[in-house]
Amino acid sequence: MEVIIKNLRKIDHPRIKGLVTIELKDIAEIAGIKVIKGDYNLYALPPNQPYEVDGKTKYKNIIKFEGTLWKSIQEKIIKRFEEIEDDKSIRDREAEPSPD
């Protein structure tokens, strides 16, 4: 199944680093996928919805993906996010004034 990243928007948040919209070609467009900075690496979470249980907020995925499909979606999102980060760091270095 072809997965197309339609939009990847960076977020300035301690753990949530981006929001992604993907298209499953000729099937559906899915918005609200989060790129999360974990303790050791980046990962993606499907769109979710908050709910309360005993006064505590919990989250439930809105969409459940088949395991290998989600793995391929997540890998594509993280790869694209890292490419954007690498491009940004190169542009930032190029924009720095050269020492005199």
pLDDT digits over 9-43, tens only? 999 999 999 999 999 999 999 999 999 999 999 99
In the numeric block, which tokens belong to residue 84?
A: 């954007």
Domain boundaries, the chain: 3-95
pTM above 0.75, yes or no: yes
Report the mean per-residue pLDDT for the chain: 88
pLDDT tens profile 9-18? 999 999 999 9
The CATH-assigned architecture of domain 3-95 is: 2-Layer Sandwich (3.30)
